[in-house]
Amino acid sequence: MVSQPIASTDQLSDPLWIALCILCFLYIFIAYWILWAKMTLTFDRKYYIGTGLVFGIIWGLSTGQVLLSFYHVWNMTEFPRWAVYLGSFACMALWQYIVHDYFWDVYVSPEHDTPKSINLKTLVSHIPNVTLCLLFLVLYENYWLFVFTQTFALIATTIFQKFPAPWAKGEFHSPMTKKGLFGIPRGAGFTRDDENDLK
């Protein structure tokens, strides 16, 4: 990343590059800052905008670079661009699925989903995000801009799920789980049957 500019001079004068770049950020704004936010449970948790912003930036920069590393490895092969795209997409999707379902949404995040919202967010936000931003990355290789798109998305998810600050006091609804692969707990989402857990 440090060996290349955010964008080249040629790209800045290319209408297609400009249009695709705007499309990536615009879609993430709609998908995460509006739609994802509306589908998210907060259980009346207090907003911690400052820590949420800091955490979102750190989470976004680190996650963006992990996802970028999958593309970078595939990009070092002699495969055609379509194969680099598909290989990168498969690795990113598998990584996100395992990390979020079996770790992040079980041990890190407070509960913020229902079974329905998990499916909707996957179809409306997560899959289109990777599909579109990876296309931009494969076509133009703007490493920094790819990481910025993922950071922009994760800042929204941190803020709108009202991620508690480290010093926050009180009880927080822990994530609901169900058995996944090999019986390992995975995030399940909150349902009406779980309401007694809030009392």
Q: What is the pLDDT of residues 42-76, one digit of tens each?
A: 998 988 999 999 999 999 999 999 999 999 999 99
Q: For residue 123, what are the CA distances in angstroms to 57, 128, 131, 159?
A: 24, 7, 11, 21
Residue 1: its pLDDT value, please? 87
- Of 142, 151, 149, 155, nearest to 71 by C-alpha is 142
Q: Please, which pLDDT band fits residue 102 given cuts at 50, 70 and 90?
A: very high
Q: Please, which pLDDT band fits residue 199 given cuts at 50, 70 and 90?
A: very low
Q: What is the pLDDT of residues 138-175, one digit of tens each?
A: 999 999 999 999 999 999 999 999 998 888 887 777 78
pTM for this prediction: 0.92
Q: Is the model's pLDDT at 194 over the cut of 70?
A: no
Q: Is the model's pLDDT at 41 over the cut of 90?
A: yes
Question: d(Cα 178, Cα 172) in Å, to the nearest integer?
Answer: 19
